[in-house]
Amino acid sequence: MKGAHILRSLTFFRLGAILVTAILTAGPAQADILAVVISEQGLQYDVSPSNYDNSPSNYDNSSSNYDNSASNYDNSVSNYDNSASNYDNGPSGKRSVVTEDGKRVGYYVFSKKGVLNFYHAGKRIFYMPGGGKTQSVFGSDGSMWCGTLGKMNGNLVLGLTRNCMLQMLMD
């Protein structure tokens, strides 16, 4: 099972902050992100929500922090840069989130403040706060830890809990 293999390989997720910095400085050439299901219990402390740096209760990670908020225009689907109507966010665009079987389930966009936003079916569903303090991904309302972002075998991987993956697949 590929997901189990990826779960064992998540030690690479420590590189998430470095990866995000590399993506931000690399410019417009971006790539698909592979979404896989992970288990919180199988993660090392440094990438798990048990670590306060990765906790949704940490204000830096919270949607109460305006930089992370969906009401911030930079993160809003009302912003054309984040809209599904933007070619780069569409099925032929460069910012797709795909499953292991190649199904496109959404897209991602960085805000000007470095927040990595994930969208599906015309709404923001997840975000990763800017600033490089965490590679954790949170539900759009900020109250739920959803997973972590990293790089494995040269590819971007978004490890999501089962409930968050289901949320991405719905609609």
Residue 60: which of 128, 122, 5 has the closest Cα?
A: 128
**Is residue 171 very low, low, confident or very high in pLDDT (cuts 50, 70, 90)?**
low
Whether the pLDDT of residue 104 is over 80: the answer is: yes
How many other β-carbons are positioned within 10 Å of the β-carbon of residue 111?
20
Q: Give CA–CA dist 97/108, Å, rounded.
A: 7
Residue 104: which of 13, 5, 34, 18 has the closest Cα?
A: 34
Strand positions, DSSP E, 57-144:
96-98, 104-110, 116-120, 123-128, 136-139
State the average pLDDT over residues 19-41. 65
